[in-house]
Chains A and B, each alone.
Chain A
Amino acid sequence: MPKKADFVKFDKVDKSYDGKVLVVKDLNLDIEEGEFVTMLGPSGSGKTTCLMMLAGFETPTNGEIFLDNNPISNIPPHKRGIGMVFQNYALFPHMTVFENLAFPLKVRKMSQEDIEKKVDKALAMVSLGGFANRMPGQLSGGQQQRVAVARALVFDPSVVLMDEPLGALDKNLRESMQYEIKHIHESIGVTVVYVTHDQGEALTMSNRIAVFNDGKVQQLSSPDKLYEEPVNSFVAEFIGENNTFGGEVSEISNGICKVKLEKGEIIANPISVKSVGEKTTVSIRPERALINPKDKMDNNQKGKIEEVIYHGDHTRVRLNLLGNSEFILKVPNSSQNLDIKLGNEINIGWNSHDARALDPK
């Protein structure tokens, strides 16, 4: 059976709470069946509102949301058949783990036998086999989280929504849960819409990421494309680390442009600039700039080391380069002996392809 490319479809959706400010502006988003899509953005960017509209707890002010080609704006939440994992788990504290998981099955009037089978299966899936008779209060945060995930999946929904489900966990647990959720998604193939403000989480888990800002989707693409090829300076800034130079295009031809800075000039890859004289922000990922490059690179500059911070697997070096004193380099801690000392002048080189000339900030 071919997968539907627009299993979940946001069609020109606007949302306003007070009639003055649009929280979500003209949202168009297609989510493929079985896909893991993350809505990523800073707080107040409208991502949770989108999720709530999909779950049915908020109604779009304009536009329509389709689930499997059916408009769902007028369907109440309990008839949508969408599973949801809440930020604070929202486990029913007066029910045991078993009763929590049986709840969606009971309201669907399943037989006791089927309920037990399904609950056992779901608990096994999140490796909580022996915990059926515990109360949620007796579980650790991570275990509660898994129960919440199991509960959202136990009634075989076509879509599962997750609203910052790992926000309350500590760092190590969060990382292991990321993999766990990813593996569950891969093994059962359910469509997941995931909301987070943690870019690491988004990059680890998703098939595609929709970066939200200011009520709009800034970019929707796979994690690697998002990181390597951000389409605007917000995405470049928000995802990963980023060195930027503000300047003006002085020459443009054959997919290469020259950007004139206050001090000096760099050769860059024109992404959102088209003509000479346009203002632009050039973005370079820290790991794309190399110290004393062996291969020939079309940008070569000298910079002065201002700060060296040891990070275990790598060392962060802050340079003053072309008038930008916030230029960051990440140097892997290999045996390679580079002359990284405070105050030293070093040669830095990068390819023009990795220097993306985006919209000005």
Chain B
Amino acid sequence: MSSETGKILTTDGIPLEESLKQSEKKNKIKAFLLVAPLLLFLIITYMIPIGDMFSRSIDDKMVTNMLPKTYKAMENWDGKELPPEEVFEAFYLDYKILVKNKTAGKLQTQLNYEKNGFKSVLKKLARKQKKFEEGNYKEQIMKVHKRWRNVEYWRAIKRRAPSYTYSKYLKGIDMYSNEDGKIVQVSEDRRIHRILWIRTVEVAFFVTLFCFLMAYPIAHLLATLPMKYSNLLMICVLLPFWTSLLVRTASWMILLQQQGIVNDFFVWIGLVADDNRPEMMYNKTGTYVAMTQILLPFMVLPLYSVMKTISPSLMRAGKSLGATPATAFFKVYFPLTIPGIGAGCLLVFILAIGYYITPALVGGASGTLISNQIAYHMKSTLDWSFASAMGLMLLTGVLVIYWIYNKLVGVDNIKLG
């Protein structure tokens, strides 16, 4: 086919393809210039930060830079027995500089992560190394503390040799690589992240489900009501959307607290006893309620825009052909709204999985999500590399969901309007 089209010439004798390219060139440049600001914006605000996050999350150069001679000397050490004299020498020289520059503390902390009890050994060495004599450092170092005779400690140093590490990612799923380099789970009482991941997915799933169940009738009503009523309803749906997120979350706090309006109402209608008011906030219930309300418009709008395009005569046709209203709904109407359901669910789920403010304010201890943990590491522990690793894991999770959705439903089936 292409060889045939290649032969077609314009009236002036120029090959048609070339002529077309020539005439389209200007338009293409124009189109590119129009999207260029957006492209630039995306690169600066999206690609670069993600790249930075990634490099931060796997960065482990600190120890490598502090012990350059040691690692060079360790290259030929197999790690089975105690390292040879030159390793000891190199380590002594590296450590001497660190002590002199007063940066030995960082190394102590870092190596203590790797092997418990390393800190005290190193501190002792810092004190004693001043009196070291030249030559035979192996003997001298081993004399400082008996742990230096233990090969485990040397292996711990060697493990930190690569300047990149995936240990932060392992930590994110409550795992670590132990002394033998095997990946194992942390002890049971310290497995907090996995609970958070599961809770995040669970909350996102149920919020999506609640949003769907509530938004479907609303969207249907919006799409079928006469214009003057549907406009009013649309404003009702959008009004919360125009209100600040903080205000909305705060108003949920007022409504849901133990002495709040909802509880007062329950007591008033006699549903609960006054002295036994249920806790609806600072737990998962509060997170569910507030997030469902806040994310509802994201479900209503795609559903509405899809339902708007479904001709009412389709349902009539279904009924006239003998289907009961329920059958007509499930066989005709519902399948046609699937693109909207897909778009709405994907949107709400992805937003919910990374939600931060609302769970932080109304979630309490049992209602916080992974994003709150990320924020905690950003602000409190200052372990940015761990925060970055978890952020990227979240992003990967979202991409996986998107991929699965694409496989199941097909992204081209999404309709947002």
Contacts and interface: CB of A to CB of B under 8 A. Distances in A.
B321 A155 contact: yes
Given A77-B316, A84-B316, A84-B317, A90 B311 contact: yes
A: contact size bracket: 20 to 34
Contacts of B66: none
Given A55-B320, A82-B320, A83-B320, A90 B314 contact: yes
Interface in A72-101: 76-84, 86-88, 90-94
Contacts of A103: 318, 321, 323, 331
Interface in B268-322: 311, 313-314, 316-322
Interface in A43-97: 55-57, 76-84, 86-88, 90-94
Contact of A107 (B313, B322, B336): B322
Contacts of B316: 55, 57, 77, 84, 86, 90
Nearest to B335: A94
Nearest to B320: A84
A173 B314 CA distance: 24
A223 interface: no
A94 B311 CA distance: 13
Nearest to A86: B313
A93 B339 CA distance: 13
A81 B322 contact: yes
Contact of A108 (B314, B320, B322, B336): B322
B256 interface: no
Given A78-B328, A86-B313, A151 B336 contact: no
B395 interface: no
B321 A104 contact: yes
Contacts of A77: 316, 319-320
A81 B323 CA distance: 10
B325 interface: yes
B322 A155 contact: yes
B325 A86 contact: no
Contacts of B324: 78, 107
Contacts of A79: 322
A98 to B, nearest CB: 14
B327 interface: yes
B317 A90 contact: yes
A329 to B, nearest CB: 44
By size class, the interface of chain B is: 10 to 19
Interface in B386-402: none
A83 to B, nearest CB: 7
A7 to B, nearest CB: 18
A41 B319 CA distance: 27
A107 B320 contact: no
Contacts of B320: 55-56, 77-78, 80, 82-84, 152, 161
Contacts of B332: 92
A81 B322 CA distance: 7
A88 B313 contact: yes
Contacts of A161: 320
Nearest to A92: B332
Nearest to B338: A94
Contacts of A90: 311, 313-314, 316-317
A108 B323 CA distance: 8
A61 B311 CA distance: 26
A107 B311 CA distance: 21
Contacts of B325: 76, 78
Contacts of A107: 321-324, 327
B327 to A, nearest CB: 6
Interface string A21-51: 0000000000000000000000000000000
A188 to B, nearest CB: 17
B310 to A, nearest CB: 9
A108 B327 CA distance: 11
B321 A88 contact: no
Contacts of B322: 78-79, 81, 104, 107-108, 155
Contacts of A93: 336
A57 B324 CA distance: 13
A86 B335 contact: no
B146 to A, nearest CB: 77
B227 to A, nearest CB: 16
Contacts of A84: 316-317, 320
Contacts of B317: 84, 86, 90-92
Contacts of A56: 319-320
Nearest to B327: A107
A79 B335 CA distance: 23
Interface string A92-128: 1110000000011001100000000000000000000
B315 to A, nearest CB: 9
Contacts of B336: 93-94
A78 B324 CA distance: 6
A252 B176 CA distance: 114
Given A86-B317, A90-B311, A90-B313, A78 B323 contact: yes
A87 B313 contact: yes
Interface string B333-349: 00110000000000000
Given A56-B319, A77-B320, A86-B313, 20 more contacts: A76-B325, A78-B322, A78-B324, A78-B325, A78-B328, A79-B322, A82-B320, A84-B316, A84-B317, A86-B316, A87-B313, A90-B316, A91-B317, A94-B336, A103-B321, A107-B324, A151-B321, A152-B320, A155-B321, A161-B320
Interface of B: 311, 313-314, 316-325, 327-328, 331-332, 335-336
29 contacts: A57-B316, A57-B319, A76-B319, A76-B325, A78-B320, A78-B321, A78-B322, A78-B325, A80-B320, A82-B320, A83-B320, A84-B316, A84-B317, A84-B320, A87-B313, A88-B311, A90-B317, A94-B335, A94-B336, A103-B318, A103-B323, A104-B323, A107-B321, A107-B324, A107-B327, A108-B322, A152-B320, A155-B321, A161-B320
Interface of A: 55-57, 76-84, 86-88, 90-94, 103-104, 107-108, 151-152, 155, 161
- Shortest Cβ-Cβ A-B pairs, 6 listed: A104-B321, A90-B317, A84-B320, A90-B313, A77-B319, A86-B313
